[in-house]
Amino acid sequence: MRALLSYLKPYKGKIALATILMAIAAVCDLLLPTLMSNVLDKGVYGAAEGDTFGYILRTAGWMFLTCLISLASVAGGYWVVYHAISGYTWSLRSALFRKVHTMTLAEVGRIGTSNLVTRSTHDVGTLNWVVSMLCGNMIIIPLMFLGGVVLCMRKDFQLSLVILCAVPLLLGVMLWMSKKIAHLWDVSDEYCDRQNDLVRERLRGVRVIRAFDREALAHARVTDATRVMADNMIRANVHMSIIDPLAAFVLNLAAVLIVYLGGVRMERGSGLTPGDVFAMVQYIAIILGAIVSVSFAIVALPHARVAAKRLSQITQSQGLEEDRPAQGLRFSGQIDLEHVGYTYPNSPNPALTDLNLHVAAGEWVSVIGGTGSGKTTLAELLLAFRAPTEGTLRFDGQDAAALAYKDVRNNVSCTLQRPMLYAGTVAENLRMGKPDATDAELWDALELAQIADFLREKPEGLDFKLEQAATNVSGGQKQRIAIARAILKDAPIYLFDDSFSALDFLTEARVRKALNQKLAGRTRIVITQRVVSAMHCDRIFVLSDGALVGAGTHAELLKTCPVYREIYLSQTGGGAL
């Protein structure tokens, strides 16, 4: 939690100013009972001594001025505090956003997408609430408490013992509650994440759920998670709601005792005045009000600790931190893998094993293999999404481990296995590949990807709106828009990870022909499961269970590689393509 509070440092000046203003307000609040006590003792009960009415008016004027100063100080203090806390929240959310973008794929998978969203919103909001409460009260609470106790003791030490007996009782109950509430908040936040996961899964898979008539089952899963979350949140809030009535009970009990014992002591001639008794009752209200604020802080801290722990899992993740400055390198396109291996965290078996291959600059190659053969893992290594756990990956003879991620990614244009398009126009999605691309360049890329005719039929043209995740276009159309985006980026290396799987054979042939003409002289790597996508490449690399089991042309592999021959026969039945 200390690391997260470090984001308050830029705002320490504002917090100091707010602290001073709150201290002024606290002093004013402590003065009011004393002034009122003087009104009673010297004004009301001192009627035989001089101009008592004038004294009452003058004292009332001072009380009014004190109230105005207190009001102005509190208003100014909270204005400054909330500006500081808003800045703190902005800094924390910005840091989380930047950190998430540097997290490894394994770290994102371990925490979960919906959990990251929940933590960046709900948990940050929790910290915002607790920090704002502490910043606004960290000086006013001890000042009100200690000031109230000291002033009570000045009025009558023996009666002040009533307060000193009530305080430990109330604090003890609050500490006990805080321990019980910590577990409740922990469970409720865990099931809040679970609920978000299930809702997100249900929305993404709504067609499958409806197709198999499993709406009731999906609803029941969300309902169970919601019930557990709500039950723990209700129990936590019920515990917190006990604070006010408990404090009111203790306050009223202490006030009754003060009035009763004060009357007894006045009868015995102790020198205690009605004004003193009145002031002590007011000080009890101030002291116990401070204790209630402390109690809320004590009870809220477990929730803040849970939120801070969850946020720290993001901020303390190792990630792919960029510790090397980009040098603006331009690769020729040569790629070498020397005994490269990769094993996923907590996986007993490697995804890639002792991989050795060479891709010359400007070469057109394909990587083919069945499901789970390591093709996508290889693509992630080439994009610097992951680093090899064994061996060396080189670009133009330079170890990728010594290169900045930005230099690597600036030299590789890709379409991934799942084409990701964003809500917005087609033009906005395409310009992710080249921000300054003209409309003519966009249409050229769409022509090459065989998707231009589809957009010309739309009245909006390049301004055709894609819904979230591009659900208003087909899978093949998504892939072709993603291919057009990749073409726009000027890079020496182009990587197509299963980018033609949703295309029919005729459309794929046209796209491949257009790409070969457009990208001639650039290194092209086609990762695929389909022989028809690989057979015309200059060379084909065959993967099986993470190992390289064959390399050569289509004709050579049919003779020398049983794995490739098996893939070919399973897809063609032995006939020529």
Residue 417: give its domain's CATH number: 3.40.50.300
3-class SS string, 369-400:
ECCCCCHHHHHHHHCCCCCCCEEEEEECCEEH
CA dist., res. 342 & res. 334, Å (int): 21
- What the block records as the tokens of 265 is 């002591």
Please, what's the b/e burial string for 417-435 (b: 16 or more CB within 10 A of its CB; e: otherwise)? eebebeebbbbebbbbbbe
CB 244 within 8 A of CB 292: yes
Least-confidence region, from 128-142, 384-398, 448-462: 128-142
Distance of CA 388 to the CA centre of its chain: 28
- What the block records as the tokens of 51 is 């101009």
Classify residue 185: in a domain, yes or no: yes
CA dist., res. 501 & res. 509, Å (int): 12
User: Taking residues 517-545, what's their average pLDDT?
Assistant: 90
CB 163 within 8 A of CB 152: yes
Classify residue 335: in a domain, yes or no: no
Q: Please indicate, yes or no, whether residues 126 and 249 belong to a single structural domain of this protein.
A: yes
* DSSP three-state, residue 356: strand
Q: Please indicate, yes or no, whether residues 362 and 281 belong to a single structural domain of this protein.
A: no
Pair type for strands 465-466 and 398-399: unpaired
Which CATH number characterizes residue 171's domain?
1.20.1560.10
CB 470 within 8 A of CB 478: yes
CA dist., res. 26 & res. 125, Å (int): 28
Q: What is the largest CA-CA distance in the chain?
A: 124
The radius of gyration of the chain from alpha carbons, rounded to an integer in Å, stands at 36
What angle separates helix 475-488 from helix 505-518, to the nearest 10 degrees?
A: 0
pLDDT at 160 over 80: no
Classify residue 55: in a domain, yes or no: no
Residue among 309, 234, 388, 273 at smallest CA distance from 39: 273
Reported in sequence order, the residue ranges of 318-442 that DSSP labels E, i.e. its strands, are: 335-342, 352-359, 364-369, 390-395, 398-399, 412-415, 424-425
CA dist., res. 327 & res. 395, Å (int): 14
Residue pLDDT, tens place only, 248-306:
787 778 778 888 888 887 777 767 777 778 788 888 777 777 777 776 676 677 777 77
pLDDT at 189 over 60: yes
CA dist., res. 487 & res. 449, Å (int): 9
Classify residue 29: in a domain, yes or no: no
Q: Please indicate, yes or no, whether residues 417 and 301 belong to a single structural domain of this protein.
A: no
Domains identified in the chain, total number: 2
Question: Which range of residues forms the domain containing residue 419?
Answer: 354-382+412-572
CA dist., res. 205 & res. 198, Å (int): 10
Residue pLDDT, tens place only, 40-97:
777 666 644 556 777 778 888 888 999 899 899 888 888 888 888 888 888 888 888 8
Residue 397 sits at the vertex; the CA angle it makes with 396 and 401, to the nearest 5 degrees, is 100
Residue among 318, 313, 384, 408 at smallest CA distance from 112: 313
- pTM, 2 dp: 0.67
Q: Please indicate, yes or no, whether residues 374 and 516 belong to a single structural domain of this protein.
A: yes
pLDDT at res. 140:
74
CA dist., res. 124 & res. 119, Å (int): 7
Q: Please indicate, yes or no, whether residues 149 and 224 belong to a single structural domain of this protein.
A: yes
Residue pLDDT, tens place only, 326-354:
788 899 999 999 999 999 877 888 999 99
Classify residue 497: in a domain, yes or no: yes
First CA to last CA distance, the chain = 63
Residue pLDDT, tens place only, 206-257:
778 877 778 888 888 888 888 888 888 888 888 777 777 777 787 778 778 8
Q: Please indicate, yes or no, whether residues 240 and 368 belong to a single structural domain of this protein.
A: no
Classify residue 568: in a domain, yes or no: yes
Which residue's entry shows tokens 């404090």? 247
Q: Please indicate, yes or no, whether residues 363 and 271 belong to a single structural domain of this protein.
A: no
Tell me which of 130 and 93 has the higher pLDDT. Answer: 93
CB 295 within 8 A of CB 164: no
Classify residue 393: in a domain, yes or no: no
